[in-house]
Copies of this chain bind each other. A is one copy, B any other.
């Protein structure tokens, strides 16, 4: 029988049994120490295929992994004895095809490295998840969204083609460099967002667009979240075409201000919108910025068209919300999504839940696309109280999300931590067919078993 070290002959790319480093038992927030069979770090499609075949022969479950920056537990072992296939060494940017605006990458390339590379060539890869250290393979597996989805869409819109190794050991290429396609079922979109349960991606061709030549940031301050989201809706229908509309509460920002040591440009009000307009023509940006200010005049307490330096400093505060919080307390980060006109109602509803359950709650998120990041904060609660109150609050919160027509995950995925909410918020018939499709590709439930549903 084939052995692992005959597939991965370089011993620095193979950990067996007790030699597996602890990092493989956790992602950003979830830890589950269930000793695995081995961790292999392939560098080619063929090695991935051989590893899958090995797992089939030995009847091992398989877990694919990238940078380990996930936040939903999709990358941690569930039962133990899995073979973890860590693709983060497959990190080559293979080809920039300027004639079709396509970038071919291996799955382990970091999304931040893709941004840097393509922008240096005058191109733009719009999906912009907060973690620039996440891999593109992971971004595809969760259909990562981020800040610019309101104008540019999510990862799904930028995957032209992907090559996968199936749980059967077969290879399949999904999609193509063709822009239009009405030639059979869309298998590609089925794999995008499937959190590693259908196949292991070994190559991805991404769609690029020309890099916008100019941008303009604007900060608006409001008395209430409701006023901020009303303004968001007005801005979205105005034609101002923002590429990012971030909403955050004053409360959520104060940790970032303390951590970075400087204040937000506006110190009035309880809710802020920080937005970017991008384009190719400075004069056009000015017109659109005026349109935003015109709308803001109705209800905003303050409106600031930011200089480049101010934009950098204020966006750094926004980006520092989570990191700032880490210094002060343990927390749980959610990524629920509701239709954009329910954004304020969802955020407001968390105030009552905070009171009811005795647990501090903060909110920030992507107002332009309805994706709220609710933060539950441990503060000085005991481990036991924290677990109990959090579970009770989450039940209420996801019920509210469901009532508003929302979904448990906008961009982080379901993994382990949102499974029960996913199951309760999804129609039985949809779950039935999702399970049937899983069975088509993975009848032995070998690949990332027990994740998602």
Residues of A within 8 A of B (CB): 97-102, 122, 142-145, 149-150, 153-154, 156-157, 170-174, 176-187, 189-190, 192-194, 198, 210, 212-213, 233, 236-239, 241, 279-281, 283-284, 287-288, 335, 337-341, 366, 369-371, 405-414, 418, 422, 425-427, 429-431, 433-434, 436-438, 440-441, 452-453
Contacts and interface: CB of A to CB of B under 8 A. Distances in A.
Nearest to A421: B183
Contacts of A288: 280-281
Given A172-B427, A184-B434, A186-B190, 16 more contacts: A100-B340, A143-B180, A156-B186, A180-B411, A182-B410, A182-B413, A183-B422, A184-B193, A184-B422, A184-B431, A185-B434, A186-B192, A210-B239, A210-B241, A279-B284, A284-B284
B157 A427 contact: no
Most central of A122, A170, A411, A440 by chain B CB within 10 Å: A440
A366 to B, nearest CB: 8
Given A237-B98, A281-B287, A284-B284, A409 B178 contact: no
B101 A236 contact: yes
A209 to B, nearest CB: 9
A429 B187 CA distance: 11
A2 to B, nearest CB: 23
A190 B341 CA distance: 27
Nearest to A280: B239
B149 A153 contact: no
A260 B241 CA distance: 39
15 contacts: A101-B237, A143-B181, A171-B429, A172-B427, A178-B338, A178-B339, A179-B370, A179-B371, A183-B409, A184-B431, A186-B189, A186-B194, A212-B239, A241-B280, A280-B287
Nearest to A172: B429
Contact of A182 (B122, B193, B340): B193
Contacts of A174: 430
A183 B408 contact: yes
Nearest to A124: B239
A154 B180 contact: yes
Nearest to A452: B184
Given A183-B426, A185-B193, A178 B337 contact: yes
Contacts of A430: 172-174, 184, 187
Contact of A283 (B187, B192, B283, B426): B283
B190 A143 contact: no
B177 A405 contact: yes
Contacts of A173: 427, 430
A238 B187 CA distance: 32
Contacts of A198: 185
A427 B434 CA distance: 24
A79 B149 CA distance: 46
Contacts of A213: 239
A223 B430 CA distance: 54
Contacts of A144: 182
Nearest to A418: B183
A111 to B, nearest CB: 15
Nearest to A413: B182
A49 to B, nearest CB: 13
Contacts of A437: 185, 187, 437, 440
A241 B341 CA distance: 30
A246 to B, nearest CB: 14
Contacts of A179: 149-150, 337, 340, 369-371
Contact of A193 (B170, B181, B434, B436): B181
Contacts of A335: 182
A239 to B, nearest CB: 4
Given A183-B409, A193-B185, A339 B429 contact: no
